[in-house]
Amino acid sequence: TRRRFGLPSKDADDLSRIIVVEVNDNVIGLLVDSVAEVVYLKQSEIESSPTINNDESAYYIQGVSSRGDDLLILVDIDKFISRKDIENN
Residue-wise pLDDT tens digits, 31-80: 999 999 999 999 999 998 776 655 777 888 889 999 889 889 898 888 88
Distance between CA atoms of 87 and 28, rounded to whole angstroms?
12
DSSP assigned state of 79: H
CB count within 10 Å of CB 41 equals 12
Q: What is the pLDDT of residues 7-36, one digit of tens each?
A: 898 999 999 999 999 888 889 898 999 999
Q: Look at the pTM and tell me if it is higher than 0.85.
A: no
Res 78: pLDDT? 85
pLDDT band of residue 2 (cuts 50, 70, 90) is confident
Distance between CA atoms of 22 and 88, rounded to whole angstroms?
16
Phi and psi at residue 23, to the nearest 5°: -135, 125
Is there a contact between 4 and 55 (Cβ–Cβ < 8 Å)? no
Res 1: pLDDT? 66
